[in-house]
Amino acid sequence: MNRHNFESYKDRYETISLERTDDGILTVTLHAPNDPESPVDYCAPYDWHYAHVEWSYCFFDIARDYHNEVVILTHTGPDFIKEEQIVDIGVSVPVSAWDKTQSHGYWLQMGLLGIECPVIGVVKGAAWVHAELLTQSDIVLCSEDASFGDVAHFEGGFLAPGDGVQIAWPSVLGPTRGSYFLMTGQVLDAQQALNLGVVNEVLPVDQLLPRAHRLAEEILRRPKLVRRYARIMGTHAARIKMTEQLGFGLALEGLSSAAPREMEQRAK
């Protein structure tokens, strides 16, 4: 019995809409809880890691469904995650809470990289938190008003950047540019992202999904094993790095969450 058929998980998640064509093109749209028309709400109304948890489980469901032929990973507009959505993340997180966060953070990255069919990422507007989930795709498209940053860690003063961004961004930008990006709060606009190799194409927002589907259809013309093995080879180095470094990074990120409380105590 196929325990991971599409019907078994397509309506399971409150922060994700899943639609699949007859030829296996799966569109994954991240959005607000129970509201497919509203943008990702990373912190509310449940708790800040609610989407974090759901996405980690959903990526594994997608990865284990052999009938997903191409994945288009996107989100409800106008933005992915903006700065105001991550206020107070990481401030004095209790150990018991961080243990869960560390586990979900690990499987979030490994679940995404575990998808063995080609992935096309589609980014609209500001992607200032976990943009690497979209930009680690095999092909990345973005809107003309897109921007990329990491404001939830070093720049926000809350946490050391250890939940995968410290691996993904230096891999995309190079070690020197990647460190600068993470430690200065640099925000890349769409043209800069294109020039630096973060994205492959910049398009008007209404052309993004049609272009993604055309690319998916082109990919489908290749034999299934060619498609799958190209994806597996393409993600192999990233999976090794995540396996070796992600747990260590998440542990240090958790330790760094005590820093704001320390500063408050010194100020008294």
| Domain assignment of residue 243, yes or no | yes
Cβ count near 23 (within 10 Å): 10
Q: What is the CATH number of the domain that holds 188?
A: 3.90.226.10
| Domain assignment of residue 264, yes or no | no
Tens of pLDDT, residues 74-85:
999 999 988 655
Instruction: Kindly indicate the confidence band of residue 159, based on its pLDDT and cuts at 50, 70 and 90.
Output: confident
Cβ count near 163 (within 10 Å): 27
Structural domains in the chain (count): 1
Annotated catalytic residue 116: no
Question: Using omega within 30 degrees of 0 as the cis cutoff, is the peptide bond preceding 223 cis?
Answer: no
Of 132, 144, 155, 218, which residue is the catalytic one?
132
What is the pTM assigned to this prediction? 0.92
Instruction: Domain of residue 175: give its range.
Output: 6-205+219-257
Residue 172 · residue 197 · CB < 8 Å: yes
